[in-house]
Amino acid sequence: MKKALLLLLPFLSFLVSHAQMPADEIQLVQQLWGKEKKAIIGDYLQLTEKEGSAFWPLYDQYQVAQSKISGERLNLMGNYTRQYSTLTDKQAQNLAKGFLSNNKAMGKLQQRYFKKMSKQVGPLQAARFMQAESYIDTKIKSALSEYIPFIREGKALTSSVH
């Protein structure tokens, strides 16, 4: 799974550099990446045919909802990258609230689908999926953070902070 994620790093660079692209393009990129992600999940879970027939419809539903929340996160990142050098207190407050709300929405979605998946494929496979999902999301956030400047009197911090 780690090798597959390394292949996604150029894609992540593209997302950050195009954080200001129209919503339709963001959705298109997310749909294309979702197919890639689905393959990664399938390779990791190694579902039986019976498990797969129960899991994949739920995964597809999850992915639609997750893509919406991820799109909102990308929009927040785009807003931040456009504003960070002149960020006001009010803008900083709105962005922080937006990111916190987005994280909360993602957590609620994962809880809801963990329950659904546990009923269909068992808690072990559902937990494996959530672990993989968390890993992928963490890697994406980490890669994106390399391109997002820190707030510091309107200037980006150097890499010495990392």
pLDDT digits (tens, 9 = 90+) for 19-37: 433 343 344 334 444 556 7
Range of the domain at 104: 2-161
Judged against a pLDDT cut of 70, whether residue 5 lies above it is answered with no
Dihedral sign for Cα 113, 94, 136, 22, please.
positive
3-state class of 18 per DSSP?
coil
Nearest CA to 63 out of 93, 41, 46 is that of: 41
Q: How many residues does the chain have?
A: 162
pLDDT band for position 6 (50/70/90)? very low
Nearest CA to 149 out of 85, 75, 74, 70 is that of: 85
Judged against a pLDDT cut of 80, whether residue 132 lies above it is answered with yes
The residue to which tokens 């797969």 are assigned? 52
Decide: 118 and 126 in contact? Cβ < 8 Å.
yes
pLDDT band for position 95 (50/70/90)? very high
**Structure tokens, 65:** 């909802």
Mean pLDDT to the nearest integer, 105-111: 97
| Prediction pTM value | 0.72
Structural domain count of the chain: 1
